[in-house]
Amino acid sequence: MLGGLTEDLGELVSTGRLFEMKGIGKGLGSALTQAIMEGEWPSDWVELHNSTPQGLIEMLGIPGLGPKRIKLMNEELGVDSVASLKEAATDGLIAPMKGFGKKSQQRMLDGIELLARFRARRRLDVGLMYGEAFQSKIASIEGVIKAQLAGSARRRKETIGDLDVVVAVEDEHHENVAEAILSLPGIADVKGAGDSKISLILDTSIFDGGFTVGHIDPNVLDAIGGDDYEQLESGGTIDAQVRLVTPEVFPFTLAYFTGSKEHNIAMRQRAIDRGLKLNEFGLIPDAKAGDLKGMAAAKFSLKASTEEDIYRHLELDWVSPELREDTGEIVAAETSNLPQLLSGQDIRGALHNHTTLSDGEATLEEMADTARKMGWNWLGIADHSPTLKIANGASAEDLLEQGETIQRYNAAWAKEGTDFRLFHGVESDILEGGKLDHPDDVLSQLDYTVASVHALSKWKARDELQNTEELMQCIDHPSTTVLGHPTGRILQGRDGYEVDLFAVLEHMAEHNEEGRLKAVELNASPYRLDLDWRLCKHAKGLGVPVIINPDAHSIRGLADISYGVMAARKGWIEPHDVLNSLSGEELQRRLS
Ligand code: DGT
Ligand code: CA
Ligand code: CA
Ligand code: ZN
């Protein structure tokens, strides 16, 4: 609950408004006030906390489960941890208890499942939020020369297991820095603190400005816990491992802990082929180090002041971290064939965005205004179609009226010499038989159509063959321009439906070869990142244009484009592979 606060807690306490908040009674309110004002919790609270078994506190993380029922189950069934609760519920021991029942037993099981999912890995956006906050707190400690996030976060994987941070510090400051790290805010627990490695658990108190999840489109929210989602996310934690090394060793340690493991193995083999030993301490000629190990051997390492130097010693171009997955980057680096990766600056617009006409929070004007402020050259509006009732899908009449408004704006901008334009599209549901959700004569009046699957349960109940077939039929429709969020997956929420995307992309490639634009969306919402980065390279190889779309439901949602750019980079995408890099004028030509 406190994790979900949008106001400063100190402010709430000092004005006394804390007591007006929902769920804060006299007891909790006064305890919090004392904790904030005097820096410590009331002594009976501390005692209670210390005497309460860790397992019972852990159970509070299960959505919808409060202290009263935990206490009851503890007394009657001896349940004392999430694991033992799961066992009791699976054995059907909870349902017969007075005031519980079958439904609440099932809800507990669902809650345990959700909790486990949120504890295991975190989405990229959440992981980066923690990682960047932690990195900058470490960087500002006196004596720290450099602190850098490594691991899967630096490689921009779609989910993060744990954070890895590498810190450069001279030996004489080592101890002080290690101590200062251990006393940073946001540390829920210390798992281990050795000589050069510190293992921690971070929680949301690391965020100076509190932690909020922002607006989530209801379709997505449903898949990630619904009303319980905010509690799950803000009550979550993330593990972090910090390595302290001297500045001379730093580039080697950074490269090693950036990974991936597969990339490291390929690099190490390349070193072996050259009579060198590559590890987290250095790049050491066999002849010099002999049987020496670790730092003792590292004294003889070739020098590297940056990662570039390490790659150069191995006769390679520097490989951008996103590409370090051993999917061909080593050969490309050897032959100077690495891609010139897309960057945020290349983005001039995006096609799939919502307004208040369907389920967006912002008006057409507000969306256009924000896109212009972001330096974009154009913006596409694609509100939901009628079948999607939950997202307030717009009627044909309202859609065409929106089109007239857009034309008026475009005319006005052209007249005053403003180089910005809106494109008018729709996000059409894909219906039975691959049909679109508006009559052809309506669709033909639009600039483009994003065709997306939303009735996921229906598509999940069918087999791969039929789904693939229907997607292809939909793509064949002359009005279909973009295939939206191609699998429907929600990260940590649900898998997508079964589909042979290789076949679908090949089908799209045939259309493109014949001059009909069929683009595949890389949905940039960090909840989706769908098309998966692993398939971007395939789309690129086939010559199917990719369009990165924030699927924005608010002005803030437009900023999600950055996660799409990260995923695209990871998928080897260059500026000319995406429609986003075109000017409004060029795109207009491609769409007509
Ligand atoms: P994660 O945390 O599961 O999202 O993924 P990573 O890639 O951050 O993996 P992690 O945290 O286990 O280790 C960080 C990096 O350390 C990893 O990407 C490569 C390196 N590393 C870890 N274990 C090994 C290993 O057994 N062999 C090699 N060559 N490298 C390793
Ligand atoms: Ca990691
Ligand atoms: Ca790790
Ligand atoms: Zn959609």
Give domain limits for the chain.
Answer: 1-44, 52-119, 122-245, 273-334, 351-591
Find tokens 């979550």 and name the residue.
236
* Residues measured by CB to lie within 5 Å of ligand 4, the ion: 452
DSSP-assigned states of every residue in 194-246 = -SSEEEEEE-GGG-TT--------HHHHHHTTGGGHHHHHHT--EEEEEEEE-
The rounded distance, in Å, linking the Cα atoms of 414 and 373 is 18
Q: Is 321 in the pocket of ligand 1 (CB under 6 A)?
A: no
Q: Is 199 in the pocket of ligand 1 (CB under 6 A)?
A: no
Matching CATH number, 351-591, of 3.90.260.10, 3.20.20.140, 3.40.50.170, 3.40.50.10210: 3.20.20.140
Residue environment code for 252-268, b if the CB has 16+ CB neighbours within 10 A, otherwise e? bbbbbbbbbeebbebbb
Q: Is 162 in the pocket of ligand 1 (CB under 6 A)?
A: yes
Report yes or no: 111 and 228 within 8 Å, Cβ to Cβ: yes
Nearest alpha-carbon partner for 518 in 508, 527, 533:
508
Torsion of the alpha carbons at 463, 509, 488 and 383, rounded to the nearest 10: -130
Nearest ligand to the C-alpha of residue 257?
Answer: 1
Best of 119, 121, 149, 152 to mutate for ligand 1, by most ligand atoms within 8 A of CB?
152
Report pLDDT for 429. 96
Local structure of 172: helix, strand or coil: helix
> For residue 200, how far is its CA from the centre of ligand 1 (angstroms)?
16
The rounded distance, in Å, linking the Cα atoms of 206 and 201 is 11
Do 52-119 and 122-245 share a fold?
Answer: no
Helix (H) / strand (E) element for 310: namely helix 307-313
Report pLDDT for 1. 45
Q: Is 161 in the pocket of ligand 1 (CB under 6 A)?
A: yes
Report pLDDT for 437. 96
Q: Residue 87 pairs with which residues in a beta bridge?
A: none
Report pLDDT for 107. 87
Q: How far is CA 438 from the centre of its chain?
A: 33
Nearest ligand to the C-alpha of residue 553?
Answer: 4
* pLDDT profile of the chain (592 residues), mean per 10: 58 74 72 76 77 81 84 92 92 92 90 80 96 98 98 98 98 97 95 93 92 82 85 88 97 98 98 96 90 86 97 98 98 98 98 96 97 98 92 93 98 97 98 95 97 94 96 98 97 93 98 98 97 97 98 96 98 98 98 92
Helix (H) / strand (E) element for 239: namely strand 238-245
- DSSP structural state of residue 347: -
Helix (H) / strand (E) element for 365: namely helix 364-373
> For residue 335, how far is its CA from the centre of ligand 2 (angstroms)?
30
Query: Which atom number of ligand 1 is nearest to the Cα of residue 159?
Result: 4
CA 551-554-559 angle, 5° bins: 65
> For residue 124, how far is its CA from the centre of ligand 3 (angstroms)?
15
Nearest alpha-carbon partner for 95 in 71, 120, 77, 118:
77
- DSSP structural state of residue 497: -
Query: Which atom number of ligand 1 is nearest to the Cα of residue 160?
Result: 4
Q: Is 151 in the pocket of ligand 1 (CB under 6 A)?
A: yes
Report pLDDT for 3. 47
Best of 159, 264, 270, 280 to mutate for ligand 1, by most ligand atoms within 8 A of CB?
264
The rounded distance, in Å, linking the Cα atoms of 334 and 367 is 44
Q: Is 325 in the pocket of ligand 1 (CB under 6 A)?
A: no
Domain spanning 122-245, CATH class: alpha beta
Report yes or no: 3 and 209 within 8 Å, Cβ to Cβ: no
Q: What is the CATH number of domain 52-119?
A: 1.10.150.20
Which superfamily does 273-334 belong to?
A: DNA polymerase, thumb domain (3.30.210.10)
**Amino acid present at 257:** F
Helix (H) / strand (E) element for 245: namely strand 238-245
